[in-house]
Structure 1
Amino acid sequence: MKLNGVRVLLADDHAMVRLGFRLLLEGAGASVIGEADCGESAVRLYAESNPDVVVMDVSMPGVGGLAALERLLVWEARARVLMLSAHHDDIVPVRALKLGARGYLCKRAAPEEFLRAVGEVARDRRYLDPELAQAVALAQLSGSANPVESLTEKELAVFLKLAEGRSVNEVASDFCLSPSTVGTHLYHIKQKLNVQNAAELTLVAVRNGLIES
């Protein structure tokens, strides 16, 4: 697929991943006008460069992809964002699309699929990874009984960080919150997910495909 003239901002904390995306995009005629290695940088670079498409990883240091998506859309409601993830679940894609992402793609997709997704989002069309489409549709239709779905946006963001092994103080720093506020979120998360400790919290995330085992 040709992407002549499409201006792209890449947001991923792995330099080699960004390089791979850059080579694919430039080979298709697009121009990469900026690279960010965390959510905060992505929001700042968007404000400075006004790209046609933001390609952003869900899992990044700092606030993370979902929170960065939310902040970016507060800044510019018409921003066209393609979210990427290495994890194959239906919970995060549903959240991302509800927040306003134009597309969602698994990182294991073929290069041609990645370029097609960028092209569709650049045209302001929605794009969802074909492997996820059915699961996402069923989750939206059924109102999924998965307890993770009961978490608020902030609780989900905190849950993902804690499940990755971040401490309460580290998560508080990531989101510019007080440790007591994160502790309150953690209390509600444990209540909703019926878990007692950090190990059980991580296990829920692994079983839902939200983090690697």
Structure 2
Amino acid sequence: MKLDHLTLVLADDHAIVRMGFRLLLEGVGARVLAEADSGEAAQRLFAEHTPDVLVMDLSMPGCGGLSALERILAREPAARVLIASAHADALTAERALKAGAAGYLCKRSAPDELLRAVGLVAAGQTYIDPEIAAVLRRADRPEHPAEALTDKEFHVFLQLAQGHSVAEVADTFHLSPNTVGTHLYRIKQKLGVQNMAELAMAAVRAGLIEV
């Protein structure tokens, strides 16, 4: 597959992942304009370079990929963003697609699948990892309690489950600690958990964070 003249920004906090993506994409004619290692950097570099496609991870320092996605699309609704994540669960993929991602790729996919995903997203189409697409099509897919969370609650849930403090989450999302505390209370109620350890385990069981 050729991706001649296609421009991209890569956002992932692992330098070796960015290097691998760059080598693959530039090997078929695409041009990587910049690399980001956080959600905030992804927003800034996208605004600076306006690439054809932003390839972005979800689990990054700062606001993370999901919040960065929403902020980028709020400023540039036509942005084409392909999420490339280690999370292979349907819940995370569905959240990202509902938030406006043009595609969702699992990092464990074959290299050619990355090229196919980038090509489809750049052409204005939607790409969903085949394994995830199969799960999303299942009518009997079990619902996880996290599906009841609002978008803001889900963002806060992810940050807290990854070990960030209430103060850190408040700073990341420009909220007051009291507001984050309110979100946390509602999250615990909806998930049926009592403390932060149980909150983290709920995220692990849903496949939202790795251990």
Equivalent position of 1:75 in the other structure: 75
Alignment partner for residue 186 of structure 1, among 184, 188, 203?
Answer: 184
**Separation of aligned partners in 2, 1:115 and 1:176:** 36
**Residue identity (%):** 63
The two structures, once aligned, show a CA RMSD in angstroms of 1.3
Instruction: Identify the residue that residue 161 of structure 1 maps to in structure 2.
Output: 159
Task: Give the C-alpha shift of residue 100 in structure 1.
Answer: 1.0
Q: Deviations over 1:117-145 (max 9, x none)?
A: 0011010100000111011233xx66963
**2-structure distance, mates of 1:120, 1:15:** 25
The one-character-per-residue Cα deviations of 1:50-88 (angstroms, maximum 9, x if unpaired) are 100000001111111111100000111110000011121
* Corresponding residue number in structure 2 for 1:129: 129
CA–CA distance in structure 2, aligned partners of residues 12 and 174 of structure 1: 18
1:93–1:136 CA contact under 8 A, matched in 2: no
CA distance in 2, matches of 1:78, 1:186: 33
Q: Is the 8 A contact 2:11 2:35 kept in 1?
A: yes
Instruction: Give TM-score scaled by structure 1 length.
Output: 0.95
SS at match of 1:191: helix
Equivalent residues, number: 211
Q: Distance in 2 between matches of 1:137 and 1:76?
A: 30
Give the structure 1 partner of residue 168 of structure 2: 170
Tell me the residue number matched to 2:49: 49
| In structure 2, distance between residues paired with 1:72 and 1:103 | 15
Name the CA distance, whole Å, in 2 between partners of 1:129 and 1:197. Answer: 34
Task: Indicate whether 1:8 and 2:8 are aligned.
Answer: yes
- What SS class does the counterpart of residue 54 from structure 2 fall into? strand
- Mapped to 1, the partners of 2:143 and 2:106 lie a distance apart of 23
> Offset of 1:168 from its aligned partner?
0.8
Q: Which amino acid aligns with 1:169?
A: A
User: Which of 188, 198, 201 is the aligned partner of 1:200?
Assistant: 198
Q: Structure 1 stretches of 5 or more lacking a match?
A: none
SS in 2 for 1:196: coil
User: Counterparts of 1:111 and 1:167 in 2: how far apart (Å)?
Assistant: 36
Rounded Cα–Cα distance in structure 2 between residues aligned with 1:48 and 1:75: 12
Q: Look up the equivalent residue of 2:210 and give its one-letter code.
A: E
Q: Which residue number in structure 2 is paired with residue 85 of structure 1?
A: 85
Q: Indicate conservation of the 8 Å contact 1:62/1:175, yes or no.
A: no
Amino acid at match of 1:187: Y
Alignment-mate amino acid for residue 19 of structure 1: M
